[in-house]
Structure 1
């Protein structure tokens, strides 16, 4: 099945087989002309296609893995991140953080890492506490900061719970700085406090629905599989698409959200990280391909 998209002046353009394609589309959102970047790959026209629900720049590695496995995909971002009012206060707060004797700064997502780096640059690149990242993807985003720090803690399992349970206690009543999403679960800080840490949480960004074009809406309503990277994406999809395809989830929390919103066929990563999520997507594709073949 070839994936197609409307050109500006009518007609259709087909995407080449075997290549990841970036397409900048003209569209109207809420009455305003704008540009929208879409990410497509048509590897095997007879196979079902997967919808990726994160922003294209965040899914480039996932897209590369799917392409290598011959899996068709299209990008329809469900959510985007926006700074909260607390962000500017956070920028000011880290200027003199070195004098406040914080032991750790805990980062639990690539998005939080990006926000921290921006705040760090705006505040004049001050010295920060020791850094703790939830997993390798988040740690990789912190490479600019790691150059200025000789220690970066990563738990054995890439979850917030594992990070909270394994974070080293360097001294009694150690203090933790925790910049995160306004929608983040309180579980991590709860566990840290139970272990004796003093936690300062900052809600520096939040997740909001992303606008869709008419073409994206049509593709969403006809896809075989949707790959979810967060509960927020599941919620937005459920509000916009009556049809519930097979879902492939990045982890347990997102899979639980799919179950809550009534998805019947849910494949979830057995191991945290991109490879585990890719395997879940691959399992979903095999299931749908077999279903199509048997019918």
Structure 2
């Protein structure tokens, strides 16, 4: 076995001065946390960078500043991407996740104008001349400017920050509206913890100043002022790296804002704003929508349920119930679907539920921990030190993959690529292995333990030695079947699952925000915990068949069997295991209510 060398991380970014400044900020902090690693900046040109003539609202598809970056992640050209959070659509590739939202900068918009512009004594904002020309490419800012000063001429304004400021300094425009965070990250003006009330100087443009606009009138774009670090869903190493910079308060606030945006079914072409603030256990969401009757409204709710707050605001603000009312004919429209998985594991599934019109409610019911018996942990370490003595390693869950990769890193060991072949029960289990550079030699056609039991003996051959790291609670069906087929199986506990801290209270709080229509179960351990905490908190007397509780959908037959053994009535099971087939089966069950 060889010692793992310091890793080089490739960080993807757009090539604008602001994007590069944001990426340097991220890399500097990651370098402090991982001084042994190297970080390379990879500049990628996006559609939005290539076409600077059209307003953002004129592009046919969302995400014009992110699609090429996401493609680079999917292709393996980069390991982490730094986005401006406001640029990232609420739906995206299921193989990618937003792993972290670092500490947020200023959320406000600012009005940039000449220093000589007089001050309005009432509004304490610049007294722009009648019919002044103000630059912006945002439909939201256009609508807000029109509501504040209907006489203003709003002019399309694209380009980098210096270009926009230059048009005001040169006299082509009387003013421009920009994000305060972008100016701050460029050091213009120097960033400070709180946004000053008065005018801000602009380095390099001494004849200009920036006036902070009141948040209540100029509600910013969802995610404004925040960065988003995106990685491949199965890349556990990159996930762990990005999470070093995650700021809990920022993450909660941005998740609420993005849930509001998703619930409104909106994009850059719709004038929508949202700004959330966390105060202890409570979150306040200020939302704006310039529909037929422009509205600003505030909502409050538990800080631990940000998506629920955002979706509730969307249903209330848009006639017909938000995106659920705007898109008819889909059974999941407006349904609250419980996902009992950790937030970082739930994002792809939550995005797909939103795409189908549902409202994902993420409440972790289980936590993955090391095996409780110290001797079991020692057995895993010893097995990894002797890994080269095995012919195959077989993985039956992503949790087992994560546990093994973490122990390899802790032990300073690398996977012996080319010497130990690998089997994974399904594509979801294979992805984190492949993302870590470990080839997967066998994925059975049937994505459950029976598939491995049927195909691995033929691939490995009689007498082959197989390492099987798995849950401390896993039944012995697979190792027994492999031994009966003539394989030598070394079974080691790699992890255990326990009830997540405060799971019952969190679930009760989620149910108090509104009845849960469905729950999606992706593991036997989640099913077992549901029996403990779900029934008492989520009863719905109007559920099908006269029973209380939401509809229960399982990812496949094996999980469904475990759910039934735990006492759960299962309503939807796909014939082919997988997340999307599970949701399709759930839609069929919902349609039959």
Q: TM-score range by the shorter chain?
A: 0.7 to 0.9
Counterpart-to-counterpart distance in 2, 1:260 and 1:208: 18
Secondary structure of the equivalent of 1:81? strand
Counterpart-to-counterpart distance in 2, 1:159 and 1:25: 45
Range with bigger deviation, 234-243 or 256-265: 256-265
Output aligned runs, 1:191-210, within 5 Å.
191-210=481-500
- The normalised TM-score by structure 2 is 0.41
User: Structure 1 unaligned runs (5+)?
Assistant: 1-6, 8-12, 28-34
User: Structure 2 unaligned runs (5+)?
Assistant: 1-248, 250-255, 266-273, 282-302, 312-322, 326-332, 540-548
Higher relative contact order structure (alpha carbons within 8 Å, sequence separation ≥ 6)? 1
| Cα gap change, 1:202 to 1:182, in 2 (>3 Å) | same
Asked if the contact 1:25/1:38 (under 8 Å) is kept, the reply is no
| Cα gap change, 1:24 to 1:238, in 2 (>3 Å) | farther
1:155 equivalent in alignment to 2:444 = yes
Secondary structure of the equivalent of 1:247? strand
Identify the residue that residue 142 of structure 2 maps to in structure 1: none
How well do the aligned residues superpose, as a CA RMSD in angstroms?
Answer: 3.1
1:89 equivalent in alignment to 2:379 = yes
Secondary structure of the equivalent of 1:155? coil
Find the partner of 1:173 among 458, 463, 469. Answer: 463
Secondary structure of the equivalent of 1:172? coil
Identify the residue that residue 116 of structure 1 maps to in structure 2: 404
Counterpart-to-counterpart distance in 2, 1:50 and 1:25: 26
| Cα gap change, 1:213 to 1:195, in 2 (>3 Å) | closer
Secondary structure of the equivalent of 1:152? coil
Identify the residue that residue 212 of structure 1 maps to in structure 2: 503
The alpha carbon displacement at 1:38 in A equals: 5.8
**Alpha-carbon displacement from aligned partner over 1:83-104 (angstroms, at most 9, x marks no partner):** 1132343123322322x2x111
Secondary structure of the equivalent of 2:470? strand
Counterpart-to-counterpart distance in 2, 1:271 and 1:110: 18
Q: Number of residue pairs matched? A: 267
| Cα gap change, 1:286 to 1:64, in 2 (>3 Å) | same
Asked if the contact 2:369/2:498 (under 8 Å) is kept, the reply is yes
Output aligned runs, 1:179-194, within 5 Å.
179-194=469-484
Find the partner of 2:351 among 41, 46, 64. Answer: 64
Identify the residue that residue 258 of structure 1 maps to in structure 2: 563
Counterpart-to-counterpart distance in 2, 1:190 and 1:233: 24
The structure richer in strand per residue is 1
Counterpart-to-counterpart distance in 2, 1:95 and 1:23: 48
1:44 equivalent in alignment to 2:335 = no
Asked if the contact 1:76/1:220 (under 8 Å) is kept, the reply is no
